Chains A and B, each alone.
Chain A
Amino acid sequence: MNFELSSEQRLIQESIARFVQDNYPLDARQKLAAGKLGFSETHWSTMAELGWLALPFDAEDGGFGGNQIDTMVLMEQFGKGLVLEPYLASIVMGGGAVKRGSAALRTEILPGVIDGSRQLALAYAEPQSRFDLHDVVTNARSDGADYVLNGHKSMVLHGGSAHQVVVSARTSGGQADTGGISLFLVDMDAEGIKRDGFPTVDGLRAAEITLKDVRVPASRVIGTIDQGYPILTAVANDAILALAAEAIGAMEVLYKDTVAYTQERVQFDHPLADFQVLQHRMVDMFMEYEQCKSLLYRATLEVAQGTSPTAQRTVHALKHLVGRSGIFIGENAVQLHGGMGMTEELRIGHYFKRMLVIESQFGNTDYHLQRFAA
């Protein structure tokens, strides 16, 4: 039993913490978020140069050979600064799908992903699908050496700026069947693609993508035709672990800022922190944070180990708890900051909004509770 980070992991952790501290004070972040792209290309290049984009890829693909534990270390630090760059979308989600594909595809695609020049995204949701990855109406039919895709993918994280997007499409079976789903890597400049990009409430970006008779060569199929679902769930699990780690970084800021503020703010001739009802609330926030961290370790280790029969169930448990605790901590951080917590001026509100978005991504609190109980 060992919960210590390796010396390499500690170095990366320190290096990312420094990056966040130097580059992500709130005003700098909000300026980036309001810009055309919604993040900094300079930061993205820095992340590539420092090798962070290579972290979860195999050495034979030009990667660092890391696993979910390494991603966890990185995402927790990103969460403390609400980092805007498309790490989750391009590296964990898009890259996470491609790295589970053929050697030819990996050789063609991953070098650009790792050096930052090629940004990927994952289009898994549809207007009717809610949180079911297997509810897929977008279809792909075989036509000579190509597939022809038609459909509508929704809320694609960083889908507006990605060069290529991994699209789940139905090649056989009924609307909600897990079999018959295939994954395609689609060029966003292909004919028949329409993208409508927009900001999300947390300052990130997403896009609605419609595909009308989009031709994709068979060489761009990820994995085997009709067998895309297991890859999709593996990527979703990695994404949930990454989101949970980010959430834990953000929770730490929320509860610590609240503890600091209530000791400074004086009302009724006492610092707010003198009032027992508020002390207990903050203790509850702290306990929720610690519990989430424990479950994050548990789920991350089980998934990284690769053979745990309970890994999937623990991932459901984690996403449920992080959603529930994240909202609890966020709402109470705002409440205890009073009017100040409601302003765009303090960072509290921004961390709370990120928590809200994380809660619904890849299934909300109720969804994962149901899956866990099933």
Chain B
Amino acid sequence: MDIELSASDLSFREEVRQFFRDNAYKPGEDYAKWRLDWFAKAAAKGGWDVPKWPKEFGGPGWSPTQHYIWEQETARATLPWDMPFGVGMVAPIIMGYGNKAQQERFLPDIRARKVNWCQGYSEPGAGSDLASLKTKAVLSADGTHYVVNGQKIWTTAAHIADWMFCLTRTDDSGRKQDGITFLLFPMKQPGIEVKPIITLGGAHSVNSVFITDVKVPVENRIGEEGKGWTYAKGLLQHERTGLAGISRSLVALEGLKANAASVPRGNGTLLDDPDFRAKVAALEIDLLAAEFTELRSLASAQAGAAPGPESSILKLKGTEIQQRIQKLTVEAAGLYAAAWGASQPGPKFARGGMSGYLASRAYTIYGGASEVQKDVIAKNVLGIKRSQA
């Protein structure tokens, strides 16, 4: 065990920083063009546009330490926007379970960020209990295509997505985890209707998606019919690790301290207030631990093991930490945290603080609610067998 960075790690870090500096967005630049150029340049560095992809699919093949350095640096730099659904979520499934034709057809556009994806998982009746999903896919008599009918909900970015990867039910005769099939289809076609859902902060990022008689060629099925649950489960583990956001929280904590230090309180600032200071300190302690939980998880993943139980711990701890940072930001803003609408009186961080706090309440709900994560740990890690529900 050793936590010192080696000389080659240090020079890697400098190379990453240099890359971010050289390719930073300049005000006035065409954003869309800069974004695609940025990913092209990152690709030319040897897979920096897809850090988590395996080497055989064009990833950089970094060591755990290099991944850690990348996470830390990306949390500080301003990277082009990037949804997780393509590169981070559907791509690993296509690599792992898709055939060669599918890999050649989908992966290049995903990697170039030319196609936006959305995830068709949750349904009105299938949230935490995802496996109870009912969206039906029926294979045509000639076996050439499926006809899909159903409703998805909480679909992030469905309104800007070009494609959906979708869990559908092809068989409901057995165990509910069996009979789920993983399909890919375009969003811009008749039979797909996207309705916005406005969330507490007033934002539109999630949607309901109504799917009516949508034809999906069998070539768009990933893997075998009825095995979709197995494929999706592996992905959920990846998603959960990603949702912990430890590096981002480390940066956000610095922001919180700076914000609190800008609020006058008596002769000093709010950061000098012993009670507030103690809460920030307790948060920092949890974050120091979580950072190493993430490193341990990363190390075991790189050693070839699938993301293990620590990914559940990370999601729980990581999202709680994010929520606490948001809550303290709201507290720091004092009365001004309530100001809404276009006027933004008070400290600059107040408005964003309140929206951030409200949005953060979803962190312990999506990607597996905290209560469900704890059930998973109880069952799979602690080995507790329940005799009844």
Residues of A participating in the B interface, judged by any CB pair closer than 8 Å: 125, 127-128, 130-131, 154-155, 176, 196-202, 206, 208, 266-270, 274-275, 277-278, 331, 334-335, 338-339, 341-345, 349, 352-353, 356-357, 360-361, 364, 366, 369-370
In the complex, which of the residues B122, B339, B342, B365 contacts A206, with contact meaning CB atoms closer than 8 Å? B339
Q: How far is the CB of B199 from chain A (nearest CB, A)?
A: 5
Q: Which residues of B contact A360 (CB under 8 A)?
A: 331, 334-335, 337-338
Prevailing SS type, chain A contact patch: mixed
Q: Which residues of A contact B198 (CB under 8 A)?
A: 343-345
- Is B340 part of the binding interface, using a Cβ–Cβ cutoff of 8 Å? yes
Q: Which residues of A contact B147 (CB under 8 A)?
A: none
Evaluate contact between A334 and B361: CB separation under 8 angstroms: yes
Q: Which residues of B contact A270 (CB under 8 A)?
A: 389
Contact with A along B221-242 (1 / 0, CB 8 A): 0000000000000000000000
Evaluate contact between A344 and B369: CB separation under 8 angstroms: no
Evaluate contact between B338 and A357: CB separation under 8 angstroms: yes
Evaluate contact between B153 and A353: CB separation under 8 angstroms: no
Evaluate contact between B361 and A155: CB separation under 8 angstroms: no
- Residues of B340-383 at the interface with A, using a CB-CB cut-off of 8 Å, are 340-343, 345-346, 354, 357-358, 361-362, 364-366, 369-371, 374
Evaluate contact between B127 and A155: CB separation under 8 angstroms: no
Evaluate contact between A361 and B339: CB separation under 8 angstroms: no
Q: How far is the CB of A68 from chain B (nearest CB, A)?
A: 23
Q: CA of A230 to CA of B135 in the docked complex: distance in angstroms? A: 65
Name A369's closest neighbour in chain B (CB-CB).
Answer: B275
Q: Residue among B122, B276, B369 with the most chain A CB within 10 A?
A: B369
Evaluate contact between A127 and B346: CB separation under 8 angstroms: yes
Q: CA of A176 to CA of B122 in the docked complex: distance in angstroms? A: 55
Q: Which residues of A contact B335 (CB under 8 A)?
A: 125, 130-131, 154-155, 360-361
Contact with A along B95-127 (1 / 0, CB 8 A): 000000000000000000000000000100111
Name B176's closest neighbour in chain A (CB-CB).
Answer: A269
Residues of B participating in the A interface, judged by any CB pair closer than 8 Å: 122, 125-129, 132, 153-154, 197-200, 202, 206, 263-266, 270, 273, 275-276, 330-331, 334-343, 345-346, 354, 357-358, 361-362, 364-366, 369-371, 374, 389
Q: How far is the CB of B328 from chain A (nearest CB, A)?
A: 10
Q: How far is the CB of B287 from chain A (nearest CB, A)?
A: 20
In the complex, which of the residues B346, B358, B369 contacts A154, with contact meaning CB atoms closer than 8 Å? B346
Q: Which residues of B contact A349 (CB under 8 A)?
A: 200
Q: How far is the CB of A236 from chain B (nearest CB, A)?
A: 13
Evaluate contact between B341 and A198: CB separation under 8 angstroms: yes
With contacts A125-B335, A198-B343 known, what are 6 further pairs, Cβ within 8 A? A155-B339, A268-B389, A338-B369, A356-B354, A360-B331, A361-B335
Q: Which residues of B contact A198 (CB under 8 A)?
A: 339-343, 345
Q: CA of A338 to CA of B364 in the docked complex: distance in angstroms? A: 9
Can you pick out 10 interface pairs between chain A and chain B where the beta carbons lie within 8 Å of each other? A196-B345, A202-B338, A269-B129, A338-B369, A342-B362, A342-B365, A344-B198, A352-B200, A356-B330, A356-B337
In the complex, which of the residues B202, B206, B264, B338 contacts A128, with contact meaning CB atoms closer than 8 Å? B264
Evaluate contact between A353 and B345: CB separation under 8 angstroms: no
Q: How far is the CB of B67 from chain A (nearest CB, A)?
A: 31
Q: CA of A364 to CA of B342 in the docked complex: distance in angstroms? A: 25
- A198-B343, A344-B200 in contact; A275/B371 too (CB < 8 A)? yes
Evaluate contact between B343 and A196: CB separation under 8 angstroms: yes
Q: CA of A261 to CA of B108 in the docked complex: distance in angstroms? A: 45
Evaluate contact between B200 and A339: CB separation under 8 angstroms: no
Q: Residue among B198, B199, B200 with the most chain A CB within 10 A?
A: B200
Name A124's closest neighbour in chain B (CB-CB).
Answer: B335
In the complex, which of the residues A155, A267, A342, A366 contacts B336, with contact meaning CB atoms closer than 8 Å? A155
Q: CA of A345 to CA of B200 in the docked complex: distance in angstroms? A: 9
Evaluate contact between B334 and A199: CB separation under 8 angstroms: no
Q: Residue among A131, A199, A338, A370 with the most chain B CB within 10 A?
A: A338
Evaluate contact between A343 and B200: CB separation under 8 angstroms: yes
Evaluate contact between B275 and A208: CB separation under 8 angstroms: no
Evaluate contact between B128 and A342: CB separation under 8 angstroms: no
Q: Which residues of A contact B197 (CB under 8 A)?
A: 343, 345
Q: Which residues of A contact B275 (CB under 8 A)?
A: 366, 369-370
Q: How far is the CB of A356 from chain B (nearest CB, A)?
A: 7
